[in-house]
Structure 1
């Protein structure tokens, strides 16, 4: 194939990937693969001196879809030129000062405020035309609805979903794995929803990174001044450091050391000149501005041998493919498995047992397959069941379902023990019924032996004492400890019981809100209508629909009736007499010294009529943090907004609980 023909082939492949990424919220290739093909195209264009009009090196993104109103940006949003060479960043900066910050991996949003209120929010789209998502943006958990500045303010920020929230959502939203395999895709789909109740349930955050317009404000020709101005308006800004030629390499290393601990997804760094006028004077190319450059981490790649594809069932019925390969060292740790996410990727990579593959850590965190060098494609052959037609857990039939052009494998047996095991694991977890001694492995044994069929059976395990004590690794001492833990769990608060049922989309916080609304009356809760539930603040139609659908199922109701015969449901006594707590909003962060864990402290605050939020905002009254001098994002936000930061001891004095001493469980 000649060079021009190869260029045309690459342009077609890259533009199709761009369409999927920007317009359809899905990925048909990894960032690693895209960058590799893109760099090949750039090299060919330099060799031939030819740049075709449809080349992604001169075009940006793809046209926005028609589901949301479209609007042109006042100024085009260009991509950034990029490098993987640290020394190249220092050469680019030369004798100037710059701002070095995270390059967050989410969805870029342009926000306009007028008269101190959010007026409009538009996605990046193709860089020239984006989609209006103003109603969705108002649900972002950390976005100020009103600001002190009353002129027209335009800024750009990155909407993101943290790894913590991504994991939490994957546990509660049915079938989410078939559609989203990383926080970026989940965020993009959440931000571009037609129903902003869905967005509100996804804990989307926005971090400002550029101020576009704020007439009448003197920024002293400094981007750092602009960032501080945005902070003072109540925005969370991307973490940045002022750098110069002498210390930039040290600062790059700081970010490199921090990336694996950062809860906010990132895919590199951005370096911008602090001198605004100097940056503007440099102008732009057809594709890139000249006042900023992106730094992409140099991926550490290792070659290894694929041993097998392991298929892992979930409680939703989705069966996830996981690549098992010969162990390799990556970014300082030994890695031997990587999620392949779905059937489509297994097929696209032409995976087969014994293939030679290369692996890396996406964003230096998540193991991924970069390339299959041998491409045997034995996934559809009888070599041990690359794509099984039977569920590995129950032996029942499987089926491949196609959602948004992505194929995923499902077990269609409603009584699949894997579904049961995952459901029971949630049921006994700390935030649910809190039964120690019932690990997933133990539950699997008990279900396999026929001791447990439904939730109520856990509370009848004493009927199988002789059999349990004879199980391998489970003697009389283990039995006695387990029965003691089970008996302790018989007294339960209604919100924990509701959460333990594993209702799709219903987390512990939602369960608390719903139970409180219906006066902790189980009969009222299980017979609540969609209209009643939708009217509750922070619930909305999506959660309401899942809740009502669950209790429409007669089997669920029968199992719940059996379960409550084994339990005593306590109604919390709300004490609003403590004026220091009642009606106040608290945020808890860091490890605790007096309360067993954050949930214990949260329960106490709510019992006194207070509220607990997951993020600091202008509505927060107190941030509880035993390290009040830390530079955590919550501490910074609290200081910016004037929210009082108190230690646990301060809180105990506030609540008149000075004498409290409880064993400690440290939480990150």
Structure 2
């Protein structure tokens, strides 16, 4: 197989070849970096990596988690001990231009309900590897990589070799975790590369990847030979605060002996941008690579109020430098079928080095994007479509995501054939439907084959066992595809019945008695998954990790959630109601007024146009024009309204939709999933083998834990966003509207219909001062 032409490989053969190459390259990396005893020449090594890169370029959906393209000379991560971060090491949201930076300042000011912007710090963003250093009673006791943000690798011995990192410190809190970046200066990197080149050894791509690979060497003696350095920029767990502000806290770290990259304060967005421009102008003069400027709210008290959203803090953002651009050739357009049936076009590029890496493929989003139509329906790339063979300009947005930003519009481009988006699924041949309207998220092409489409079935299973879902070790895409083709695993429940095939499995190539035992043990270890992981693993559209977590905290047990879903399915809106929702000019208020008035409306009384329309408060002539345009005549419009009233969503559906963080789109997709018999049948079979754990109730000692709270009106001492975040952090459930299940309404000035609903249902109402006291 290793000699077979890449363009002749099937997907199955390519997956097998990538597995072989990953293992072989990792072995040679270990020999070269860990033992300094290479078995092959650099040319032979480069041949292996080039073949791996070329296969990944042709099959971008087969890129492995252990792909050589995702690491530089690093040993397998399982060789290091794991470190659970006491305080998660979260990533930062990105700003890509001045408007994004201004928006960040405005969001912070609005969230905190401040009259003027708070003081914000600015510091260079080092292009290095994040690390956490733990000190206890002044002694360096443990060092770790960021890993997935919650669990990293124990690289204490390697970090001890870095001269910038003190082994002992005086005057620090009893427990101090210093956070920062391990990096290599540009001159030192160039010197090391020149030395390797002179010795005939492999050279490295950039300082950041080199530092990452070296820090994760199994032998700390190897790490010690490299000129690694460290900058501090923050902290994790503390036994006592360092100071009251970000600026003063990092200055204290500097006094304790930790190097800083430099930090300044700004009073507003324009001062921040002036610092950004100053750092950008001097970028080349820095001794190390930087890729932007990090902004952080200075006051630690305000940081605490701002809190976090998903995987990043609200109080910080990384303003990235503009992406480097290069030209290359669009050599092909392939169609990938995702686990939800979406057809995603992927552009195959002639390999080009841009933004520090070699880019070989790029996502082309959808058919409209290829035709040069943007998400808002307007033209992109100057109205130039993409055609195979075009010369294109490529950049990496934020130095991360490759994208095509322009096309050379020449005579050759005009002679090339336009790309025809497939009307049938390239995997199963089913009809391809187009979903959503232009001007929203763009038109999505989706295979209608569902679970009958092998691409979707396999991808759903791969998603189910993935690290962020059930995280079943030893069961990756290759194994899922193999077991699917054998007929052993067609749905998630089959994974937990794999033991029935133990004897057959041990006879297959690559499976010994020990590996089979380990695999089955890994599966058994996931029979009681976390609620949120289990829900996320089901692959329901729009139910990502964050939304799954919101739902788990809201319902707390799988049984309660399933019961709520069954009730929501029965209470879901009918087609007539959904038709009314789509009428232009009829918003939520007008729709509610129409449904309330529907029983008294008589179609025969209105025979003409909108000028003869019923007088209903909240329903304008524009709304009636929209209704007549949608349904034909006034009698037909009134008939449609009366039908919609009978098919309006019931309270159980509305209760799901009201959950803060769920909303109507996710609620619709949850109900779609639980209303399909093949889904619920498969789920019943799965639950015979798996028992999701109850979600631990957060902050159970607080006075509001477990309560369902609605905020309405204008809050004067904090914004509603901040109040909601505070309520959730205390274990409460936040809803968007009032119902009989609401426990408490917090009302500020201007509270309207929600206050009336609270009185109707007998729900307790308090003001903002009472809420602040209650939530202390």
Q: When the two structures are superposed, what TM-score results if normalisation uses the length of structure 2? A: 0.38
TM-score under structure 1 length normalisation: 0.44
Between Structure 1 and Structure 2, which shows a larger proportion of helix residues? 2
